[in-house]
């Protein structure tokens, strides 16, 4: 019996040395691979409502005639307009004046046979003033200057309203020059609501600050001062999240702590730290650090980050392999820029250079089973917009990633039949290499159905025709995918996800007062959902199934205390022939987040 045991040990040891690492590594379930074990820190919260107004405009007293039809009548032959016509300094280069003059000319043609009273002329110019303000000249004043009307020629004057001084008020941690940078380009220019709003919102993007812009009469005629009124400055943000969003192989229960140090060096920068530990089992530790700094132009940021995830898989026979240890490290540098910034629509672009390294080791023998080394260039755009006509909020992104072989230590391009030591191989024993192309997209719409009812539609997709490692694959299953299955149930090269979820705010008691001044409809939501994901492997290995489909349905409960607490519970059942690999039916996910 002893000789048989020794023989078995020798056979296993030889197999560990002779079998290619990638062949062993790719037999791991999705949740035990470097890509599947990397924590998904995405949030399932509903999209934010439109931001509150960025600019406070003082009211203006208007001269109102008691009876516009009474008084001396003037037969108007034409209106002469006095305004700034210098294309270098005029509001929108003065192009708006063509429309104003056409409107006035049409009123000359359409005037009563016996002419206009002074009050009726006042109505005409107030209509023009309102149109200009709605179009963006937020402080426009259109009026009749003191004049003597000769031969039916009436003079109309337009005062654009220009930004005079920019004043800061209430700031303690932020320097004046840092706060004034996003709005510095407005000084001396005509006040345009779009430009002012964008500047204030870019300022609000600074970490840990709440600020409003207040317009008030300037010291000289036709000028308006802009006061940046700081309402709050938080030096730190600290959040703790407890959930069971982890993989069964590395620990389902997780505790995540995040910490932001706002305006760390006095340049509107932020240092963000995150630490995550899994439990049940205690087999994964994740940490990250990120630095964000405004550079060059308002709305442009430099970012640098580093992530490490160390995990242990003690699956034994259940995984068909011995104990596995993994170490994933991701470093990134890049830039992002806000192209459009407003309360109702936003568009930004980013470019990042990313280094990804992942090793899979056998903890029993000490042998490295596989090593994935990637250098990736990623270019993307993000957007969100408010659909006022149909009462919805849209958001999404589109990105293109290209693997760069033989760059900063990355893998070479795949060579048919060659073992590069990476974690995936196809049936021809060709290893996944460092060269690949990948498109990724996501879209979501939150549709208002009634006063207390909303419909959330989410979709995401990835397309790649290449043999790629788990760090680049599309994950199917989990709390941010098909909720009836465990996280990273399957990893595919090309795949898609769609979800429809109906939210109902506190049915029957939505308008009743809850606590802290909120109604129950603002605090508590119930939901019903259906999730689907499908995808395929570009080059499956021997024994791997090329296509996969997951379906599931369920209900959720969402409780939130704005700015402080958020909790979520999802219970979901699978639909179709696929059954959860962890045997949990139904699947239950919970998350609790508290902000200090």
Structure tokens at 387: 């659909």
pLDDT at 116: 94
> What pLDDT digit, counting tens, does each position of 484-532 carry?
999 999 999 999 999 999 999 999 999 999 988 999 999 999 999 999 9
Q: What percent of the chain has pLDDT over 90?
A: 69
- Whole-angstrom CA distances from 567 to 285, 480, 522 are 23, 15, 13
> What pLDDT digit, counting tens, does each position of 366-376 carry?
788 899 999 99
- pTM metric for this prediction: 0.87
DSSP assignments along 116-132, one per residue: EEHHHHHHHHHHHHHHH
Contact 572, 581 (CB under 8 A): no
pLDDT at 49: 60
- Whole-angstrom CA distances from 595 to 257, 260, 294, 312 are 10, 12, 25, 30
User: Residue 282: pLDDT band by 50, 70, 90 thresholds?
Assistant: confident
Owner of token pair 């208007």? 62
Q: Is residue 395 over pLDDT 90?
A: yes
Q: What is the mean pLDDT of the chain?
A: 89
Question: Higher model confidence: residue 418 or residue 436?
Answer: 436
Mean pLDDT of 458-464: 98
Torsion-angle region of 489 (φ positive above 0: left; ψ -120 to 50: alpha; else: beta): alpha
Mean pLDDT of 182-189: 86
Q: Is residue 314 over pLDDT 70?
A: no
183, 187, 190, 195: CA torsion to nearest 10: -10
Alpha-carbon gap, residue 469 to 40, rounded angstroms? 17
The CATH number of 53-231 is: 3.10.20.310
Question: Higher model confidence: residue 27 or residue 574?
Answer: 574
Question: Higher model confidence: residue 322 or residue 198?
Answer: 198
Name the segment(s) of the chain with CATH classification 2.40.160.50: 2-50+235-595
Mean pLDDT of 31-38: 87
Phi, psi dihedrals of residue 400, rounded to the nearest 5° = -125, 130
Contact 590, 244 (CB under 8 A): yes
Q: Is residue 10 over pLDDT 60?
A: no
Structure tokens at 168: 């800061």
**Residue closest to 401 by CA, chosen among 438, 354, 372, 350:** 438
- Whole-angstrom CA distances from 481 to 40, 91, 255, 489 are 11, 49, 20, 10
Contact 484, 521 (CB under 8 A): no
Alpha-carbon gap, residue 131 to 71, rounded angstroms? 26
- 3-state SS assignment for residue 527: strand
**Residue closest to 357 by CA, chosen among 331, 329, 383, 382:** 329
- Whole-angstrom CA distances from 162 to 81, 215, 216 are 19, 11, 11
Contact 338, 379 (CB under 8 A): no
> What pLDDT digit, counting tens, does each position of 319-347 carry?
555 578 999 999 999 999 999 999 999 99
> What pLDDT digit, counting tens, does each position of 67-122 carry?
677 888 999 999 999 999 998 889 999 999 999 999 999 999 999 999 999 999 99
User: Residue 8: pLDDT band by 50, 70, 90 thresholds?
Assistant: very low
- Whole-angstrom CA distances from 270 to 46, 147, 158, 206, 302 are 25, 58, 44, 9, 11
pLDDT at 284: 94
Q: Is residue 318 over pLDDT 90?
A: no
**Residue closest to 208 by CA, chosen among 179, 251, 168, 247:** 179
pLDDT at 452: 94
pLDDT at 317: 42
Alpha-carbon gap, residue 197 to 203, rounded angstroms? 10
Mean pLDDT of 37-47: 73
pLDDT at 63: 47
> Treating both helix axes as pointing N-terminal to C-terminal, what angle do 118-135 and 96-109 enclose, rounded to 10 degrees?
150
Q: What percent of the chain has pLDDT over 70?
A: 90
User: Residue 414: pLDDT band by 50, 70, 90 thresholds?
Assistant: confident
> What pLDDT digit, counting tens, does each position of 431-453 carry?
999 999 999 999 999 999 999 99
User: Residue 310: pLDDT band by 50, 70, 90 thresholds?
Assistant: very high
pLDDT at 69: 79
Alpha-carbon gap, residue 326 to 317, rounded angstroms? 18
Q: Please tell me the total number of residues recorded for the chain in this structure.
A: 596
DSSP assignments along 232-282, one per residue: EE-SEEEEEEEE--S-TTT-SEEEEEEEEEETTTSSS-EEEEEEEEEESS-
Q: At the top level of CATH, which class does the domain 2-50+235-595 belong to?
A: mainly beta
Name the segment(s) of the chain with CATH classification 3.10.20.310: 53-231
Contact 510, 520 (CB under 8 A): yes
Looking at 116-130, 181-195, 307-321, 541-555, which range is the least confident one?
A: 307-321
Alpha-carbon gap, residue 572 to 476, rounded angstroms? 15
pLDDT at 161: 85
pLDDT at 313: 84
pLDDT at 224: 87
Q: Is residue 480 over pLDDT 80?
A: yes
Mean pLDDT of 132-143: 91
DSSP code, position 176: H
pLDDT at 29: 84
First-last CA distance in the chain: 62
User: Residue 40: pLDDT band by 50, 70, 90 thresholds?
Assistant: confident
Question: Higher model confidence: residue 186 or residue 334?
Answer: 334
CA-based torsion, 138, 139, 140, 141: positive or negative: positive
Query: What is the number of other CB atoms lying within 10 angstroms of the CB of residue 121?
Result: 23
Alpha-carbon gap, residue 474 to 496, rounded angstroms? 8
> What pLDDT digit, counting tens, does each position of 203-237 carry?
999 999 999 999 888 888 888 899 999 999 999 99
pLDDT at 59: 52
């Amino acid at each position: 019996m002893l000789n048989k045991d020794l023989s078995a040990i020798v056979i296993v040891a030889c197999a560990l040395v002779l079998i290619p690492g990638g062949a062993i590594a790719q037999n791991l379930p999705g949740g035990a691979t470097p890509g599947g074990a990397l924590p998904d820190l995405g949030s399932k919260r509903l999209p934010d409502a439109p931001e509150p107004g960025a600019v406070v405009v003082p009211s203006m007293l208007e001269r109102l005639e008691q009876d516009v039809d009474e008084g001396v009548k003037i037969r108007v032959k034409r209106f002469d307009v006095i305004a700034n016509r210098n294309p270098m300094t005029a509001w929108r280069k003065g192009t708006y004046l063509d429309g104003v003059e056409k409107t006035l000319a049409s009123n000359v043609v359409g005037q009563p046979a016996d002419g206009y009273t002074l009050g009726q002329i006042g109505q005409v110019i107030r209509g023009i003033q309102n149109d200009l303000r709605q179009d963006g000249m937020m402080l426009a004043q259109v009026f009749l200057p003191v004049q003597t009307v000769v031969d039916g020629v009436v003079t109309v004057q337009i005062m654009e309203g220009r930004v005079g001084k920019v004043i800061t008020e209430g700031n303690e941690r932020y320097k004046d020059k840092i706060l004034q940078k996003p709005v510095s380009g407005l000084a001396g220019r005509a006040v345009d609501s779009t430009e002012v709003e964008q500047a204030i919102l870019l300022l609000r993007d600074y970490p840990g600050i709440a600020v409003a812009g207040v317009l008030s009469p300037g010291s000289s005629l036709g000028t308006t001062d802009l006061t940046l009124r700081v309402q709050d400055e938080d030096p730190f943000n600290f959040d703790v999240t407890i959930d069971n969003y982890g993989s069964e192989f590395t620990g389902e229960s997780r505790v995540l702590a995040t910490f932001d140090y706002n305006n760390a060096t006095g340049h509107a920068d932020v240092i963000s730290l995150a630490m995550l530990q899994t439990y049940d089992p205690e087999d994964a530790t994740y940490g990250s650090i990120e630095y964000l700094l405004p550079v060059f132009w308002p709305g442009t940021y430099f970012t640098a980050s580093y992530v490490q995830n160390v995990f242990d898989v003690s699956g034994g026979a259940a995984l068909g392999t011995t104990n596995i240890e993994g170490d994933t490290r991701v470093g990134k540098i890049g830039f992002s820029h806000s192209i459009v910034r407003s309360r109702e629509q936003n568009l930004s672009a980013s470019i990042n250079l990313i280094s990804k390294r992942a090793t899979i080791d056998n903890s029993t023998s000490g042998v490295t089973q596989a090593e994935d080394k990637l250098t990736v260039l990623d270019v993307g755009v993000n957007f969100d917009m408010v659909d006022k006509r149909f009462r919805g909020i849209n958001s999404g992104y589109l990105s293109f990633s290209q693997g760069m072989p033989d760059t900063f230590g990355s893998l070479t391009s795949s060579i048919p039949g060659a073992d590069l030591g990476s974690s995936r191989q196809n049936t021809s024993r060709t290893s996944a290499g460092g060269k690949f192309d990948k498109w990724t997209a996501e879209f979501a719409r939150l549709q208002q159905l009634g006063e207390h009812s909303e419909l959330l539609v989410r979709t995401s997709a990835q397309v790649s025709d290449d043999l790629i490692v788990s760090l680049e694959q599309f994950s199917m299953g989990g709390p941010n995918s098909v909720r009836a299955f465990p996280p990273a149930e399957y990893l595919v090269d090309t795949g898609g996800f769609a979800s429809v979820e109906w939210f109902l705010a506190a049915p029957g008691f939505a308008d009743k007062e809850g606590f802290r001044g909120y109604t129950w409809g603002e605090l508590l939501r119930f939901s019903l959902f259906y999730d689907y994901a499908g995808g395929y492997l570009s080059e499956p290995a021997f024994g791997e199934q090329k296509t996969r489909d997951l379906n599931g349905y369920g209900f959720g409960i969402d409780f939130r205390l704005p700015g402080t607490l958020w909790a979520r519970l999802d219970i979901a059942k699978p639909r179709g022939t696929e059954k959860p690999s962890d045997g949990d039916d139904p699947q239950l996910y919970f998350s609790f987040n508290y902000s200090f």
